[in-house]
């Protein structure tokens, strides 16, 4: 029987774990939004969880070089929009010069993201809805809960106080 890897088995968030995690992908805590943190019932066996009518969940957005950011959103589109609106999506944004020199067909291949509809090339974008395992990811869950309680935008903002 093969067990499913937890988030902590695959990724290292600087400042959350004290041990050397050089074999894992690193995520900067400044790129982890604590915007709409919602823990559903499967994280707490004593109740049904928090009210979550829009199914808000944690999304990991990455590209060919590794993780870019983590955001809380309802769906893929909302996660991408939140990434761009929070200035974390520069790896995907198309420069103004490229937009101006591109043909109409090329522009149609790019997504329009964020509140301002910025052009983004999502060719190498990978997205994954993250399920946190309370037995292994408890440090990150605690950081999310504390950041939410403090009203911080990111995990790093909470740590800096």
pLDDT tens digit sequence for 66-114: 899 999 999 999 999 999 999 999 999 999 999 999 999 999 999 999 9
Tell me how crowded residue 48 is: count the other CB atoms within 10 A of its CB. Answer: 10
Dist. CA 87–CA 104, nearest whole Å: 26
- Report the sign of the C-alpha dihedral through residues 158, 152, 124, 119, in that order: negative
Query: What is the pLDDT at residue 159?
Result: 81
Domain boundaries, the chain: 7-84+124-148
């Amino acid at each position: 029987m093969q067990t499913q890897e937890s988030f902590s088995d695959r990724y290292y968030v600087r400042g959350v774990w004290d041990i050397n995690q050089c074999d894992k992908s690193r995520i900067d805590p400044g790129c982890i939004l604590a915007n709409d943190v919602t823990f559903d019932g499967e994280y707490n066996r004593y109740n049904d969880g928090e009210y979550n009518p829009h199914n808000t969940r944690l999304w990991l957005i990455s590209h060919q070089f590794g993780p870019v950011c983590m955001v809380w959103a309802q769906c893929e589109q909302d996660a991408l929009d939140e990434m761009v609106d929070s200035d974390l999506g520069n790896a995907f944004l198309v420069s103004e010069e490229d937009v101006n020199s591109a043909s109409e067909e090329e522009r149609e291949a790019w997504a329009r993201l964020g509140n301002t509809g910025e052009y983004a090339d999502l060719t190498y974008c990978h997205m994954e809805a993250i399920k946190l395992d309370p037995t292994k990811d408890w440090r990150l869950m605690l950081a999310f809960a504390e950041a939410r309680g403090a009203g911080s935008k990111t995990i790093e903002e909470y740590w800096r106080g």
